Amino acid sequence: MNRGLRSFITGMADVSNSSRKSNIHLKKNDNESLYSDWKKIGKDFKKAINKYEKENGR
């Protein structure tokens, strides 16, 4: 595996496995919960990609 790809995967793991408490809203319906979850996933991907680009000068 090339170094850049390994660095990207490591960055994704760091971001996605960070220990943070998630907010629990018991009154949300399923669609709102799914939307919220995917929005958080999108933010995690964006952070990981930005970190990867910063480390690799892109």
Domain boundaries, the chain: 30-58
Torsion of the alpha carbons at 1, 46, 48 and 54, rounded to the nearest 10: 90
How do residues 10-42 score in pLDDT, each as one tens digit? 777 665 555 555 555 555 577 787 788 889 999
**Residues 6+ positions from 34 with CB-CB distance below 8 Å:** none
pLDDT at 16: 58
The CA distances from residue 13 to 17, 30, 31, 32, in Å, are 6, 27, 27, 26
Quick one: CA dihedral 25, 31, 37, 40, positive or negative? Answer: negative
pLDDT at 18: 55
More confident call, 23 vs 55: 55
pLDDT at 6: 76
